[in-house]
Amino acid sequence: MKLYPWLIKPYNNIVQQYQKKKAHHAILIKTPRGIGVSLLIWFISKWLLCLKPIGLNSCDKCHGCKLMSANNHPDWHNFTLEKNNLFSIESVRIINEKIFTCSRQGGSKIIFLSDTGKLTESAINAFLKTLEEPPRKTWFFLVNYKNLNSHSTLNSRCLIYKLFIPEEKKSLYWLKKETVKKNRSCLTALRINQGSPLYAKKFINSNLWIDRINFYECLHDSFKKNNLLKILPLITEKDSQVKIDWICFLLFDSIKFYFNENDNLTNSDQIELIQFFSYNYKNTILDTSIRTWLHCKYRLSNISGINCELLLSEQLLIWEKILNFS
Ligand SMILES: [Zn+2]
């Protein structure tokens, strides 16, 4: 396993703190999703559990390193949850049990809590006590994906370390090397995924990427044939809300294009289609279109049991009207 290039600096920064023996026992990392925070914590933990670290790197040879690499180290406690589960008081009790027994390998013990946003109120209160007086050589890594100011007491018990979305240029370089795809495709995948290189890689290698290309082709075709209902099967088939996002991204791009913001287009691989919209429709019309699509998406996600096909065909007819189809 290798650390992603954008995580090397944060890794060095944090490990140096341990090296100087100045590290806080609990580090709370605030980060956007999709840049690999779990891997960062895993690498730092490996260094902490390495018996003979070489500078800022772990040796990769000792028993500690081998156990970590086999995902089998008894003093590395990874509390990662399934999607909709929460950390309850019971989870905190298990954490306490782990840290108040001796470390199995005689060195450090590490607790990794993958998302503090999933701690229930009572779990936070219990966990605060744990953080107050932890046993020696116990290190906590907590991750928070949002709520910058929530749980101020929890924040105050930890050292806060912030990760940011990597610079676009760097992500692009990495993504091109990883996927061997064209510059334009990589840039588009990055921007659709809010700059997350990991999500972009997953996206560009998925069937959804192919669906997206087909979807735009079909959309273009339905305009040429003056019949928007042609895209109905594609939108209703699956991922309807994602496809509405694609339409909106494209309409936004057409407005940006009008204002010569060509460097900031999301779909830099769809210039032809963007030009088509921009040349043929006024910005006010594009803007109204976006609003109706967002409204449609809202209804789709918030009204349970709604007839998806009916709603989408209605929206397509509304859109035809807005665009003045004859
Ligand atoms: Zn080692």
pLDDT, tens digit, for every residue of 27-82? 999 999 999 999 999 999 999 999 999 999 999 999 999 999 999 999 999 888 77
Compare 156 and 167 and report the one with higher pLDDT: 167
pLDDT of residue 263: 93
Distance CA 269, CA 271 (A): 6
Cα 63 to ligand 1 centroid, rounded to whole Å: 7
Count of structural domains, the chain: 2
Cα 140 to ligand 1 centroid, rounded to whole Å: 20
**Residue where a domain stops, chosen among 99, 134, 162:** 162
Cα 45 to ligand 1 centroid, rounded to whole Å: 11
For residues 155 and 13, membership in a common domain is answered with yes
**Residue where a domain stops, chosen among 134, 162, 190:** 162
pLDDT of residue 148: 58
Cα 183 to ligand 1 centroid, rounded to whole Å: 39
For residue 318, give its domain range.
206-322
pLDDT of residue 147: 61
pLDDT of residue 77: 92
Cα 109 to ligand 1 centroid, rounded to whole Å: 15
Cα 33 to ligand 1 centroid, rounded to whole Å: 29
pLDDT reading at 320 higher than 70: yes
pLDDT of residue 117: 87
Cα 24 to ligand 1 centroid, rounded to whole Å: 22
Cα 96 to ligand 1 centroid, rounded to whole Å: 26
Q: Rounded mean pLDDT of the chain?
A: 92
* pTM confidence score: 0.88
What average pLDDT does range 233-241 have in this prediction? 93
For residues 214 and 116, membership in a common domain is answered with no
Cα 153 to ligand 1 centroid, rounded to whole Å: 35
Domain CATH code at residue 250: 1.20.272.10
What average pLDDT does range 257-282 have in this prediction? 95
% pLDDT > 70, the chain? 97
pLDDT reading at 173 higher than 90: yes
Cα 273 to ligand 1 centroid, rounded to whole Å: 54
Cα 75 to ligand 1 centroid, rounded to whole Å: 14
Cα 149 to ligand 1 centroid, rounded to whole Å: 37
**Residue where a domain stops, chosen among 162, 178, 198:** 162
What average pLDDT does range 83-92 have in this prediction? 82
Nearest to 35 by CA among 174, 155, 186: 174
pLDDT of residue 150: 65
pLDDT of residue 93: 87
Residue 188 is assigned to a structural domain of this protein: no
